[in-house]
Structure formats: structure tokens, C-alpha cells
Chain A
Amino acid sequence: MAESRIMSSRNLDFLLNEWLDVEALTRRARYAEHDRETFDGLLELSERIATDMFAPMARALDVDEPHVGEDGKVVLLPGVADALAAYNEAGFPSLGFDAEHGGAQVPFTLQQASSIWFQAASVGVSAYPSLAKGNAHLILTHGTAEQAATYATPVIEGRWYGTMCLSEPQAGSSLTDITTRAVRQEDGSYRLTGTKMWISAGDHELGENIVHLVLAKTPGAPAGVKGISLFIVPKLLPDADGAPGERNDVSLVGLNHKMGFRGTTNTLLNFGEGFATPGGQAGAVGFLVGDEHHGLSYMFHMMNAARIGVGAGAVALGYTGYLHALDYAKTRTQGRALDDKDPASPPVAIIEHADVRRMLLASKSYVEGGLALVLYCARLVDEAATAPEEADRDRARRLLEVLTPVVKAWPSQWCLAANDLAIQVHGGYGYTRDYPVEQFYRDNRLNPIHEGTNGIQGLDLLGRKVVADGGAGLALLAETIGATIARARTAGGDAASYADALEGALGRIGEVTAIAWADRDPAVALANATAYLEAAGHVVVAWIWLEQLLVAGEQDGAFYAGKRAAARYFFTYELPTVAPKLDLVAACDRTTIDLDVDAL
């Protein structure tokens, strides 16, 4: 096919096959049915449906966003249902699930690579099935067999959708403060009352039913996050045969009108306000998942995968923006070479200007670095689940824990920066709605906010992940990066000099982490957690670039030359920005702590 401006199939192929050796996974029992052919077939199919059915919806949904009709039902452009019908018929909702649940047992790495196509083509449409998938996965992991059959199976079959209801108007970052209540009934079910804010895909008419997974507190529960429980609250209560029946007491208060990501409905939902009276009584009927008071830990069990998914979405939007900018820069002519003094000479394509090249190279290093990071973490999910040796599974799990805040926050910061650069490359045209790059930016602007803001990710990294188990996670990361450094030294050339720079920055992270926590005062240690997160993210992505460079080696062709150029850019322009950030953390700088609020 002609070069796509949605995603690069060549780069996916490079990362999956030349670098991450996904085919090796097929030697494991769980993936034995697969081989290179099914993996390639999956990606080809993803590209095709994403291109034909999803991409046309991206702009359409931005212009004609979902609204509530007179009958109180959500109205979505019909193309969404068509796109999802093609997606469902092709079997995408079941890809990763176990064969016993009707799934195809596709490795997580391949699921992620596949979904990048849909996210890049229309992030708004892609969110419906990806939320549903996370929902079903959670029920299968922590619910009963009966709950799995009733609520997960229809999602795996592409008939029902699902949501994650954590946030409330007054409780976003701090879930401790949620107030939704769940009261146990005689029959073992619960009745919920409360309000949930920001619920993505919280209402629509796409499937036969919507399964809400709701965090709530039971009366007398312990204070704080240890008092939170998790409930299944279906929009329509299943009848004896499992078919959607009576309307539950869950109502749509309204849709939020967003800056971007408009194709996905975002809702304010009321539970138990008397909108409906299931069983003759107000109160949203819910069913406890697992045990009371463990809800948040079940939810967080899913977070590693969900946060990789957010990173992937950010990469997808940054990547498609970059491909559009690259295309534009090759065709837009403007100005002349600096040494060309002849005003009569024809103008050159803007890609000839050094500053435009800087922007494109920066974007390339962000989006390709982000994609590689996302797929690397996805591969760790597969390792954690299926590596033959327990020690390897454990290692993958621990590495994933440390990398999770980075794989969420880094792409959502830097691939958004790529979207910003894509607008800049387009000049004035980029600022108009005649080109899609401004929408990519608006769509991507969500990613630093949801699934734990990037600020919260910084706290998670410096406050928990690198200090847990006496710093074992950070030590493991350093050891893993160290192995790449050693290989780069053996390879020699540029790789060896980049390895020196990386080693220096990596060592500094270790030092700075210890200094920040020297006084054991979280207020001081964490005051500059965002600077720490940004620095750590850049060090991790520099490592990921070194890995890619080692695979590219001296191979011929523009593709490999591109890998070398982007690695060079990252080590020359980006890695050096890490040192001042780490100095700030090491200084335990108190500028923000000492600030008197009145001074702002």
C-alpha cells in the first residue's frame, strides 16, 4: 500500500520483529497457535479497517460531536456503529482473551500494536472497545464465574460495552474522597447512590448494554482507599437468561463538552437518584466484585495495562501528526537556501530548512521513541504472564512497575509536543481547521490529564516505585539499561559514545534519588517529582533509542538511516536536558514549598 499517514507499518515491523522478536512468544504454550503469519495478518487487518472505517470518523466526530437527543438518548454519527460493526465482526474484541472465554490468545504486545492503528485513525471511536476490553478483563480476573459469563462474555463477543467509574466531581486524583455509597441488600446485591464524573463512554446506544464498573464505599467501611469496594452496575439488568432487561437506576445527567477526543462520549452519571426503580425501588443495583474493601486494588491491578494504553494513545496521535507534518514539509515550498541570493530562483521545499528539519527530527525521536517504549512495556506484560521461569516473570513484573509511570507520562508529554511541532511545521495553515494537525493536538491534550495526571505519575515514581523494596525496582532498571550500555560499548562507534552519556545520566538518577530522600521528608523529596519524572523519562527513552540503534547498526536504506539520525538527535539535543532537572531535585529546591500562596 501507499505510505500511510496514520501509522508506519514499516516501523511496527521493525520494532516487533527485528527488535522485540515477538515470534519467540509463539514457542510458549499460550501462544502456540500463532506464528508470524497470524501476527502479520492481524496488523494488516488492523491497518485496513482503521484506514477504511475509523479514519473517516476522526474529523466527522470532531465537527459533529455526540449530543443528547430529545428522548434523552445519546446521538452519535452512524459511522461509529458501522466502524465498530466491522471491528467486531473481524473479532477484535476477543483478541487477547483465553480460548475458554472465546478469545484468540493474542500476545499483549500484538494487541497493543494492533490498537495503535485504531487509536491513530480515530481515537474517539477506538476508546469504546478498549474501555470495554479493560472492563471484561477485570471481571474475568476478579469476578465469579457467573459474573464472567453474564458480563464479560457479551463484551468479548462485541455485543456489550463497558466503563470504568472512578472519578467524582470532588474526587479525581484523590480517590480516597469518593462519596458514592453501596448498601448491601438481603439478596446479596447492593444498591448504589452517588455521582460519577468524567465517565468515558458512560452512555450511548452502540451495543445492547453497558457494564459500569463502579468504585463505592459501603457503610462503616474503613476510612481512606482501604474502604473502597468495586461493583458491577449494568445499565440494563440482565434477565434470567442473561439478556438485557429492566432499566437500572443509572442516569445520564449530561455530556461534557471537551476540547478534543470528542468522538468518545464523556458523561456525568447519577446512580440511585430514582431515575428508574428496578425491582420497584430506587437505587442502582450493583454486584460486588471480589471482596469488600479491595476495590481499588482490583482496579489498580488493571492500571499497568491501562496506562500503557494511554501512552499508546498519545504515541498514536503524535505519530499521525508527525507523518502529516513530514508530508507537508516535503510539498510546501517557501524561501530559499541561506546561501542562495538570487530572488528569481525557485523557492525550496520547507524540509530543506534546518529549523524545519529540527522540528521533524525532534518529532520523529519522540514518536518513534514513544512507540518503542510502549511496545517494550507491552512485551514485559507478556513476559510477566508467560515467561517459562518464575524468576523471569518476577523480573518483568518489577521492571514494569517502575516503568509504568514513565510509559504513561512520557508519551503524553512528548508526543503531545510532537503534535505541537506538527502545527508549527504547517505554519499558519496548521492553525486552521483545514488541516487535521490542530485536532490531533486537542485530542492528545487529554493524555497528560486522565489515568492519573502526569503530576500524580511523578509522585508515584519518586514517592513509591523507585524506593519500594529498598530501591529494588530502580536497581533492576539500572541493571537492564546497563546491559544495553555494555552491548553498545562492544558495538563501538556512535553507540559507544552514546553509551557513555547514558551511563552518566543513569548513575546520576541513582545519586539524586538517594539525596532527595536523605531527610525522609516527603514534602521536600517530592516537591520536584515532576522534574524527576521528566528526567527519568528522558533517560529511559535514551536507552530505548540506544536499543533501536543497535538493531539498526550499519544496515543500508533510508529506514535504518532514519533510526541512526533520530538516535543522534536524541543523544545530542535531548539527553543533555536531563542534568539540570536532576540538579534541581538534588538541591531539594524549596521554591515551590516556600511560596506564600498570596504571592501568586
Chain B
Amino acid sequence: MNIVVCVKYVPDATADRSFDSSDSTVDREGVDGLLSELDEYAVEQALLAAEDGDGEVTVLTVGPADAADAVRKALQMGADKGVHVEDDDIAGSDAVATSLILAKALGTLEYDLVFFGMSSTDGTMGVVPTMVAERLGLPAVTYGSEITVDGSTVTVRRDGDVATETITATAPAVVSVTDQSGEPRYPSFKGIMAAKKKPVEDLTLSDLGIDASEVGLGAAWTKVLSFAPRPPRSAGEIVTDEGDGGTKLAEFLASKKFV
């Protein structure tokens, strides 16, 4: 079974992130980037699904030059090869455009299943997997918290607020996985060494037959109009227990309409 796993290179979620004031896009300068942590779960599931068979895992990313780091990380974890779509004209692309590029890139690859994370840790829209599925006319089984691949059938368990669904699709299909699907492995040092020898194909928009006008900030369907940093956390209120701590706490919660 051949698997493609789509991963995004994102600014480190634990660092202070902000926007570029000139075009309201994410400011990538000065913040370390990395493979989106949620996408590590997709890599893990892709590797597990490919483990028994003789197929390959290809990692696919659309992103700037530094996004090669995300590809490398997935290769270190055990993926077999990488594809990196990079083009200056891609900058500022929205989810619609990203899905177009991914779909076209997938058109150049052989796959039975395409794995995605549940959402990126920066854009967090969670729409790219279904957009890609729509473009390719593939079934999409999304938000899988448990993934089972049996022959050409993929089954996921999706945990909802009120019910747990079991959904099955036949390959070729799109699968997105949650952070409940199983802890991603650490790369091994051997994996780090081996990753250097694994092939990574670099593609541009013209390689994929995409016109620059179809993607980028200019083609975005939506626009970020303004942004403001989140206000700093306010001081909070300390309840001193003078024998009536419980009552005071209850009063406080009631005043905030929690109880």
C-alpha cells in the first residue's frame, strides 16, 4: 500500500507568534518553524499503515524553503521519500489554494491512501483534507481517533460529542487523524542518518501546471482585515481563606455565572 502524508511547516506554537503588519499574513521571521505537531500523528499512522506491506510512505508539503525541515523530520521518523512544492507565488495562499496545489501534486504521485492531520497548529481551519478529497473526487474519512487499514479498506473511529462513529472507505481515500490516534514515535538516530539519503523531489507551480494567478495572497477568497494581539491576562483575584473561603469561592463563581 502506498501512502502519501501531507504535512505543514508551521511557526512553533510554543513561541510568541504574530502577524506581518504589511499584509496580515503570519510573520515567519524570528520564529522557529517546525513540522506541525498535529501532523506528527498523521505521519505515525501512515507509517503504521505501511509497516506490514511493501508500499512506500511519501511525505508531501507545500511551503517556503524552510519547510524542507518538516519533510526531513517526517523522513527521520521513517517516511521513505519527500515532495516539497515551493514557489514564491504560493506565499499568502489560503486553504482553497493550498488544497489545489496539494491535489495537483498528488496527481503526480501513486497512492492508495492520503493521510492528513486534523488541522494545522497555525491556520487551524481543518478544511484542507476535505477540500483535497473534493478536488480529487475521493472519499474522505476524517478526524479518525483510531485507524485500521485492512486490505484496501480503511476504517476510522470518530469520537463526537454525542456519539462515536465508525466510518469505512475503500482506497483510494483521504484520511485525517486526531491527536488521540496514538503517540507519534521519536525519530531514531539511525533514522536521522538515513533521512539524509532519502530522495526529496522539489516541485514548482509550473511543474504542476498551476498558474500563479490561481494561488497566493491575491487569489485568496478571504482576507484578514485586521488583527490585534490577545490582551495580557489580567491579575486575577485572590480569595483569602479566613474560615469562609468556600463561601467566597462560591460567590465569586456565581458572580461570573459559572454556578
Q: Which residues of A contact B (CB under 8 A)?
A: 1-2, 33-35, 37-38, 41-42, 45, 48-49, 86, 89-92, 94-95, 104, 106
Contact across chains for B196 and A86 when beta carbons are under 8 A apart: no
Asked, given contacts A1-B14, A2-B14, A2-B15, whether A37 binds B196 with beta carbons under 8 Å apart, the answer is yes
Contact A86 B192 (CB under 8 A): no
Contacts beyond the supplied A1-B15, A42-B189: 5 A-B pairs with Cβ under 8 Å: A45-B186, A89-B186, A90-B186, A91-B188, A91-B189
Interface size range on B against A: 10 to 19
Task: Check A89/B12 contact, CB under 8 A, given A33-B193, A41-B76.
Answer: no
Enumerate chain B residues within 8 angstroms of A35, measured Cβ to Cβ: 196
21 contacting pairs across A/B (C-beta < 8 A): A1-B12, A1-B32, A33-B193, A38-B193, A38-B196, A41-B192, A45-B186, A45-B192, A48-B186, A49-B186, A89-B186, A89-B188, A90-B186, A90-B187, A90-B188, A90-B189, A91-B188, A91-B190, A104-B189, A104-B193, A106-B189
Q: How many A-B residue pairs have CB under 8 A?
A: 47
Cβ B189 vs Cβ A92 within 8 A: yes
Q: How far is the CB of A371 from chain B (nearest CB, A)?
A: 22
Q: Mark B178-193, 1 if CB is under 8 A from A, else 0.
A: 0000000011111011
Interface pair B189/A86, CB less than 8 Å apart: no
Nearest opposing residue in chain A for B192, CB measure: A41
0/1 string, B20-36, CB within 8 A of A gives 1:
00000000000010000
Task: Report chain A residues within 8 Å CB of B196.
Answer: 35, 37-38
A224 CA / B126 CA spacing, docked (Å) = 73
Alpha-carbon distance between A35 and B186 when the two chains are bound, in angstroms: 20
The CA of A91 and the CA of B185, in the complex, are separated in Å by 13
Of all chain B residues, the one with the shortest Cβ separation from A89 is: B188
Contact: A86 with B12, CB < 8 Å? no
Write the nearest CB–CB distance from A575 to chain B, whole angstroms.
37
In whole angstroms, what is the CA distance A35 to B196 when docked? 10
Residues of chain A within 8 A (CB-CB) of B72 are 37
Given A86-B186, A90-B186; A42-B14 close (CB under 8 Å) = no
In the complex, residue of chain A having the shortest beta-carbon distance to the beta carbon of B185? A89
Residues on A with beta carbons closer than 8 Å to the beta carbon of B76? 41
Q: Shortest Cβ distance from A567 into chain B, in angstroms?
A: 27
- Docked CA distance A48–B76 (Å): 14
Q: How far is the CA of A34 from the CA of B194 in the complex (A)?
A: 11
> Complex formed: what's the CA distance from A474 to B14 in Å?
49
Q: Which residues of chain A come closer than 8 Å to B192, judged between CB atoms?
A: 37-38, 41-42, 45
Chain A neighbourhood of B15, CB < 8 A: 1-2
Residues of A within 8 A of B14 (CB): 1-2
Q: Which residues in A have their C-beta under 8 angstroms from that of B188?
A: 89-91
Q: How far is the CA of A94 from the CA of B32 in the complex (A)?
A: 30
Instruction: List the B residue with the shortest CB-CB distance to A34.
Output: B193
CB-nearest residue of chain B to A86: B186
Assembled-state Cα–Cα distance A37/B197 (Å)? 12
Name the CB-closest residue of A to B32. Answer: A1
Q: Which residues of B contact A45 (CB under 8 A)?
A: 186-187, 189, 192
A1: which B residues are within 8 A, CB to CB? 12, 14-15, 32
Interface-centre pick from A34, A41, A91, A104 (highest chain B CB count, 10 A)? A41
Question: Roughly how many angstroms separate A37 CA and B198 CA in the complex, as a whole number?
Answer: 13
Q: Which residues of A contact B193 (CB under 8 A)?
A: 33-34, 38, 104
Q: What is the CA–CA distance of A561 and B111 in the complex, to the nearest angstrom?
A: 52
Give chain B interface residues in 25-49, CB to chain A under 8 Å. Answer: 32
CA distance A1 to B12 in the complex (A): 6
Query: How far apart sit A165 and B196, CA to CA, in the bound complex (Å)?
Result: 41
Which B64-107 residues have C-beta < 8 A from chain A? 72, 76
Nearest chain A CB to B43 CB, angstrom units: 15
What is the distance, in angstroms, from A94's C-beta to the closest C-beta of chain B? 8
